[in-house]
Chains A and B, each alone.
Chain A
Amino acid sequence: MRSRAFSFWTRAVEVAALAVAICFSLGASAPTSRLNILSHRLMCQCGCAQLLGECDHVGCPDRDTELSMLSTGIAAGMTDQQILDSFVAKYGATVLAAPTTKGFDLVAWVAPFAVFAAALLGTILLIRRWGGLGGKAHSAATLVAESSDPADRERLERIRRETGANDGF
């Protein structure tokens, strides 16, 4: 039973992956503007707290200067990192729209995932401790003995509830 079900899902995943691969191969992707990408990794320095690529202030004292500097860097064949470094050298670290991945800045990126991983692990361990995975409270056999299928049991309960006494979610 379990192996049949497993093969069904394996086949479904294979078919889906094939379909995706076919679709991925359709058409060619459009060229991406480096200017657009980089201008969204930098902040406008006029104090508007907007990304350089989104600053909409007419007569903004900094936007055109920054965009011009960006264009010059791209035309000169500088790498993205070299361009960003030149901006940091001129305006300071706050010109970057996000922390770098070096030094203490790396903590900004790592902490959320570390916290999520720790919380996830903690949750799983908690459920295990409560007996969920160990089957302490309700083994498969117990479930079968109690009722044919938990889904059926849930549905029965809900049908009773929705056609009889009222209850919550």
Chain B
Amino acid sequence: MAAFGSFCLLIALVLAAYNLLAGSVALRLIATGQPARISPERLADTARRAGIAGFIAVSGAAFALVWAAFTNDFSITYILEHSNRALPIPYKFAALWSGQEGSLLLWAWLLGTYGFILRLRHKTDVKLYAYAGTILAGVQVFFLLVLNFAAPPFSLLPGYVAGGAIPADGNGLNPLLQYPEMVIHPPMLYLGYVGFSVPFAFALGALMMRYPGEKWIRITRAWTMVTWLFLTCGIFLGMHWAYAVLGWGGYWGWDPVENASFMPWLTGTAFLHSVMMQERRGMMKSWNVWLIFSTFLLTMLGTTLTRGGLVSSVHAFAESPIATWFIVFMGIVLAVCIFTYILQRGHLKTEHHMESLVSRESSFLFNNLVLLTACFVILWGTLFPIISEYVQGTKVTVGAPFYNRVAVPIGLFLVFLTGVGPLLPWRATSFKSIKRNFVLPVIALWVTVIVCLAVGVRPWKDGALDSGSFYALVAFSVSAAVLTAIASEFLRGASVIARQTRRNLFAATWLLTRRNTRRYGGYLVHIGVVVVVIGLAGSAFNRSIESEMGLHSKMAIGPYNLECMGFTQDSNRNYSSEYAMLDVYQGGKKIYQITPERRFYLASGQPQTMVAIHSTPEWDLYVVYEGTNPDTGQPIIKAFLNPLVDWIWFGLVVMVFGTFVALVPSLTPATAALRVPAVRAVAMASALKGGD
């Protein structure tokens, strides 16, 4: 199987290289109109078919690696190091992306899949798709070069090659990765990373061919949104994994790998917003092109920084010396982008200019500004240890306190813009309309401030500002204002539809959303973001307690009392475990029993905690079995009370739902009865002026 896998990778490289070269030659011939012995269109089609065949070859290689994991082929070094016989079946799949070589193969396979879909849909716009397909082939050539020469996943054990025996069992999968979410988190994240290659290819292709209009943006809209959705889900799944597995009570530690996934998300989000200005008003064309270029480069930079070992990370298990390859590739990509932009920038002239500082356009501009500043802060924080070492010879740590102090205020400003933006009309606005639109949100903001203060949220402690509580107070109040603003937008539109069609408000809201899925789907995503922010703000009030617990020992945290009912042990082929049985009481009544666990994985010889979590919308009771005190022999239990954590996961659900809504084509009014003549619309607007 190793030979088959290696052969597939080599064939895939040859096919991708042909796709790149033949595609480039064909497009050049078409562009210049030079006569050639072979028809450029036919040459371009052979390139496209090579791309499709390349996908099949990469799929063969991916299949070979998974097959090797399932059949315990420990003659392959990668399988020996990342799998073992007792590994449960779902984690055999996870072995594909648990190490550097497998991750890169997954990347290449996903890129091949995206390319396959793109090439099948080439009739949408043959020329533009030919450009995009050729650019994707260029990216694929890079990954296949790395897989064939720098990080081959099918390398055989040196001992086996020298005639030695194959080890009876493998070293097993890293215990940190033996958690259900690790089966879906990396593929989801990679779908996001790799997916941005598609809008990148279209943007670069459209620029190269001086593609007229905004059609390429409309073509890639669904690609970009789906990619963004995958990346969002991947990031949140990673957060949940960190929360449930690492056992420190948090979900985001500003680790370089987390930062690496967050940076393209920020620029991708900026792109999703700013393309609307290009579609609506023909503005920010250069900006959009560079946003998508940056997003693509950031997906590469993240891999370079973390997997290349340039910065230390908890994800160090996947390090290997491939950073140089990535740096060279990024340099080439950047040079191509700059060269193409300089050559074709005349094509990107804006059609309209901004007319007012207070308008929908300017809110998009400020939104982009804040998102990119946040991206810079994270990039700066991630790179600063390297810069510091270079400048002053000593490495420094840039951890959570830095990001909390710098990135959190920026994030809160962004949430504020989330509410403000949709309330501003395109082009320009007036003080009167600002007052009309903002009264309710401002009232909601101040009512929330007062309520929070009344229930005990104090932004200072011992005479000094308590930044955690202060930010939480701001987050709650701004979130309330934003939710009010979005709700009022829904209500305004729904009330018009309700009057027009004589439906109830709920049905009218549903119809309104279906009439403009993109707009109202976007609002739903904003609601999801706000719900997430509320959940994140809850972390300012986390509490924890740690103590040794013997039989019938008790521990109290918040409204809960925990009583230890015993400890027990268990084992299977994969791991042995010990866990505590803790009865949880609330108000003197037993409500449930939780069993925090500590496992010892036999193959890798590493321990791992399995946190017991009881979630309610108000808070999570999060209990960690930390092991036994070597001095006293007593088990140590650490309990956390983490408020509002469920809101984070619920916010993700709302964001996913909103994105799906935005992806669904809007309903076109089928009946003339639903259409409103302009005169009647004017009358309605006049009525609304008084009522909304």
Contacts and interface: CB of A to CB of B under 8 A. Distances in A.
Interface of A: 2, 5, 8-9, 12, 16, 19-20, 23-24, 26-27, 29-32, 40-41, 43, 48-51, 54-56, 58-59, 92-99, 103-105, 108-109, 111-113, 115-116, 119-120, 123-124, 126-127, 130-133, 137-138, 140, 143, 149-156, 158-169
B399 A51 contact: yes
B307 to A, nearest CB: 16
A111 B380 contact: yes
Nearest to A118: B373
A99 B385 CA distance: 9
Nearest to A17: B446
A33 B512 CA distance: 52
Contacts of B396: 93-94, 96, 99, 105, 108
Contact of A29 (B247, B356, B462, B688): B462
A168 B431 contact: no
Interface in B666-692: 666-669, 674-676, 678, 681-682, 684-685, 688-689
Contacts, number: 242
Given A8-B435, A59-B630, A127-B354, 5 more contacts: A43-B399, A99-B398, A105-B396, A132-B359, A168-B519
Contact of A27 (B397, B456, B627, B630): B456
Of A96, A105, A132, A162, most buried by chain B (CB within 10 Å of CB) is A162
A162 B497 contact: yes
A120 B369 contact: yes
Contacts of B638: 56
Nearest to A58: B627
Report, nearest first, the 3 A-B pairs whose CB atoms are least far apart: A23-B453, A151-B433, A154-B425
B156 to A, nearest CB: 32
Contacts of B377: 112
Interface of B: 246-250, 253, 255, 276, 279-280, 312-314, 353-357, 359, 362, 365-366, 369, 372-373, 376-377, 380-381, 384, 388, 391-392, 394-402, 405-406, 410, 425-433, 435-437, 442, 446, 449-450, 453-454, 456, 458, 460-463, 466, 492-493, 496-497, 500, 512, 515-516, 518-519, 522, 609, 624, 626-630, 636, 638, 666-669, 674-676, 678, 681-682, 684-685, 688-689
Contact of B398 (A30, A108, A168): A108
Nearest to A31: B462
Contacts of A151: 425, 429-430, 432-433, 436-437
Given A56-B609, A133-B357, A152-B685, A164 B676 contact: yes
A115 B449 CA distance: 31
A16 B406 contact: no
Contact of A56 (B248, B357, B399): B248
Contact of B430 (A29, A93, A143): A143
B357 A124 contact: yes
Contacts of B388: 99, 104-105, 108
Given A166-B668, A168-B279, A98 B397 contact: yes
13 contacts: A8-B435, A20-B449, A40-B400, A49-B314, A99-B396, A108-B396, A108-B398, A115-B373, A138-B427, A152-B433, A163-B675, A164-B669, A169-B280
A49 B255 contact: yes
Of A56, A113, A137, A158, most buried by chain B (CB within 10 Å of CB) is A56
B250 to A, nearest CB: 7
Contacts of A31: 461-462
A108 B628 CA distance: 41
A83 B627 CA distance: 30
A148 B396 CA distance: 59
Given A19-B446, A32-B462, A108-B381, A166 B666 contact: yes
Contacts of A150: 425, 427-430, 433
A32 B248 CA distance: 21
A105 to B, nearest CB: 6
A132 to B, nearest CB: 5
A77 B255 CA distance: 34
Contacts of A97: 397, 399-402
A130 B437 CA distance: 26
Nearest to B273: A169
Contacts of A103: 392
A42 to B, nearest CB: 9
A126 B394 CA distance: 40
B442 A51 contact: no
B402 A99 contact: yes
Nearest to B676: A163
B450 A94 contact: no
Contact of A159 (B250, B402, B681): B681
A16 B674 contact: no
B520 to A, nearest CB: 9
A112 B228 CA distance: 25
Contact of B461 (A30, A138, A166): A30
B397 A137 contact: no
Nearest to A120: B369
A138 B684 CA distance: 26
A93 B217 CA distance: 48
B401 A40 contact: yes
Given A40-B401, A41-B401, A96-B396, A59 B461 contact: no
Contacts of A120: 369
A159 B630 CA distance: 71
B394 A92 contact: yes
A98 B688 CA distance: 53
Contacts of A138: 355-356, 427-428
Contacts of A5: 431-432, 435
Of B255, B356, B428, B431, most buried by chain A (CB within 10 Å of CB) is B428
B337 to A, nearest CB: 21
A143 B626 contact: no
A119 B287 CA distance: 14
A133 B353 CA distance: 12
B493 A162 contact: yes
Contacts of A58: 626-629, 636
